[in-house]
Amino acid sequence: MSGLVRSALASAMLLLSLTSPLSAQCVGGEEVCLESDTSVGSVEQQLQASSDDVTTDTYTEEQAALVAQITLNLKRRNLTRPRGNNANEQIQRLKELHPLHDYSVNGSKYIARIMMVLGRKSLREGNLALATQRLQQAIEFDPQVKRQSELKAGIATAEQNGSADDTPADESTADESTVGDGKTDKGESGNGNPVVTEPGKPDPPEADKTAQVSRSIEAVDQPVKFSGKVTTETFTDEQTELVEGITRDLERRRLHEPLGDNAFEKIRRLKEIHPAHDYSVNGTNYIARILMLLGRKALSQGDLERASQHMLKAIQFNPEVERQDELKKQIADAAKERAKERARAREVELANQLNTEQNTKTATGQSAPAVSYLQSDSTTAILEEPSSDIEFVAPVMVAIPAGSFMMGSESGADDEKPVHNVVIDAFSMSKHEITLQQYRVFALATGRPVPQYLPEESTLPATYVSWRDAVAYTEWLSKKTRKLFRLPTESEWEYAARAGTTTDFFTGETLVNAANCVGCGGQWAGQSLAPVGSFDPNEFGLYDTHGNVWEWVQDCWTDNYSGRTESSAAVEQEGCERHVLRGGAWYNDSSYARVSYRGNERVFFRDGGVGFRVVYEGL
């Protein structure tokens, strides 16, 4: 037993080794040393008189083990964290087993003094939020802790001088949190951030938790700066309960659902009662970052719809959320690749079907038409056959009244500025995008690649149409109908798409179930083209101005609207090789479908999400 008694004296080693400023040792590998006037050794001498019977002897193995653990955790600054393995909890247990041990009598005061040392360190570093938190925690452990008035005065002076560092507590030196379990606790680090791991993965082993907690929030990076004093401290039971609930919901991905019990609703309540808390200031940004993480995960699993939903929801929580452009492009590229794969599969299906029909006719002695399969640069199969087999279908036109509007967007990209007034003369525009059935007649008549499709697909918009193809169609249609058709100018297109509205979409601020685009809802969203007219029209009676396919306009591409006048005429330049596209496509999210968004491509560009509609002057 004497060996256990001697081993228990380890509790005094921390204290006695720090009595001289010349021989001070830094505890726990940190750049903080207990100064001579605040050494725990001197604290021991001052406080041991609290009981004549206080001892450092231990009498059981459990007591000796607890004493050794308390000593180690004091060195490592594991004062109240992690749960289940910190000095405070071990001191409480020791009080039950050995109430006369020095740690049972004076342990809370030792914790308070160490808190004060850490508080002064935070003050020197300019982190007033953390210094204040340390001070208040020290007072909780020992209301009479020495030098508290001095630290309070130092914090007050720093605040008056404006020398505070706005760095929230969770960005400070990790202290105890570097060995924590990742759960939010009202501990010394003040870290109110959850550990973010991939959904469905088990908790990391203990050896990995240190690195994980030190990263704080893997997907959330660093909190946004706040002009006031951001803190992770709470002052009421309700605030503490909310913070713990938010952390738990973020970890479990209960971000905005279920209704009445999710992180977002708790953050809103916390803002009302504690607006300076880190979650009140940065909580929605954390939600946005986690949603982006979930979006990238869904994309890696091939779920484009869910990836888009997560991304769009993230932008709602934080319009400036990082890496959104990167994820948008990845989703669009994945959707295009999927479309190409489906086109190749359809090509094989149609070729097999046509070969079967031809073989059947040959076997029955019927004369088969001359059929040849060509490969266009769009990789779709095409069929040449007599044009007499196809009936001409003219596009249905809608009258667009004369008027004026403000073109562009102050909140959009640089190429959408400056916003300027444009005066529009009356004109007529096709109610729908030109369909496969309409384009096929033109292709057959002019010797262009002919799109092949199944009968039920005749009302899909024509795609893989270059700007030159679209212009040629308007010239052919003019001769066919004796009306002067052309592509709309860029200002005519935006005026018609807005239909008297001033929001991003003619439906308001969102496109939920109102267009064919990624994340917009409906049976086609992010999956394939939709038949024209599948959604409600705008106030002018035009369908599908948002999503489904990009639409060519007459104008040459320019980087912005500088120097523009009120004229609605097209911008045309000699040798122009890039023209404007409007409206977004089925494989884009709704941000590309905004009425003011501008795309551009070369005149020979063809794609499975690019089509057009036509206009003629007058009503």
Tokens of 518: 């990624």
| Alpha-carbon gap, residue 161 to 580, rounded angstroms | 55
Please, how many CA atoms are within 13 Å of residue 292, restricted to the half-sphere of its CB? Answer: 27
CATH 3.90.1580.10 matches 348-617: yes
Return the domain boundaries, the chain.
2-165, 199-322, 348-617
pLDDT by residue (tens digit) across 40-84? 333 334 333 333 468 888 888 888 889 988 998 898 888 988 888
Q: Contact 23/16 with Cβ under 8 angstroms?
A: no
List the alpha helices (DSSP H) in 125-165.
Answer: 128-141, 148-161
Residue 420 pairs in a beta bridge with 407
* E strand or H helix that includes residue 74: helix 61-76
pLDDT by residue (tens digit) across 167-198? 444 333 333 332 233 233 333 333 333 333 33
CA distances (Å), origin 317, targets 261, 332, 358: 17, 22, 58
Say what the pLDDT of residue 346 is: 65
Q: Contact 257/305 with Cβ under 8 angstroms?
A: no
| Alpha-carbon gap, residue 619 to 277, rounded angstroms | 60
| Alpha-carbon gap, residue 160 to 85, rounded angstroms | 39
pLDDT by residue (tens digit) across 554-601? 999 999 999 999 999 999 988 899 999 999 999 998 999 999 999 999
Weakly modelled stretches of the chain, pLDDT under 70:
1-53, 162-229, 343-390
Say what the pLDDT of residue 39 is: 36
| Alpha-carbon gap, residue 416 to 409, rounded angstroms | 6
Q: Contact 18/35 with Cβ under 8 angstroms?
A: no
Say what the pLDDT of residue 533 is: 94
Q: What pTM was estimated for this model as a whole? A: 0.46
Residue 614 burial (CB count, 10 A):
22
Specify the 3-state DSSP secondary structure of 226. Answer: coil
Centroid of chain to Cα 76: 36
Q: Is the dihedral of CA 221, 224, 225, 231 positive or negative?
A: negative
Say what the pLDDT of residue 527 is: 84
The identity of residue 407, as a single letter, is: M
Say what the pLDDT of residue 437 is: 92
Q: Label the pairing between strands 578-582 and 397-400.
A: unpaired
pLDDT by residue (tens digit) across 23-46? 333 333 333 333 333 333 333 343
252-255: list long-range contacts, CB under 8 Å, 24+ apart: 253/199, 253/290, 253/294, 255/287, 255/290, 255/291
E-state strands within 384-451: 397-400, 403-407, 420-424, 427-430
Comparing C-alpha atoms, which of 273, 350, 607, 310 is closest to residue 465?
607
Q: In terms of C-beta density within 10 A (0-12 exposed, 13-18 middle, 19 or more buried), how is residue 63 classed? A: buried
Cis peptide leading into residue 202 (ω within 30°): no
Comparing C-alpha atoms, which of 213, 291, 310, 196 is closest to residue 247?
196
The identity of residue 87, as a single letter, is: A
Question: How many residues can be counted in the chain?
Answer: 619
The identity of residue 453, as a single letter, is: Y
Q: Is the dihedral of CA 502, 506, 512, 516 positive or negative?
A: negative
Centroid of chain to Cα 138: 39
List the alpha helices (DSSP H) in 254-323.
Answer: 263-273, 278-300, 304-317
Say what the pLDDT of residue 356 is: 61
CA distances (Å), origin 563, targets 286, 395, 415, 567: 42, 35, 13, 11
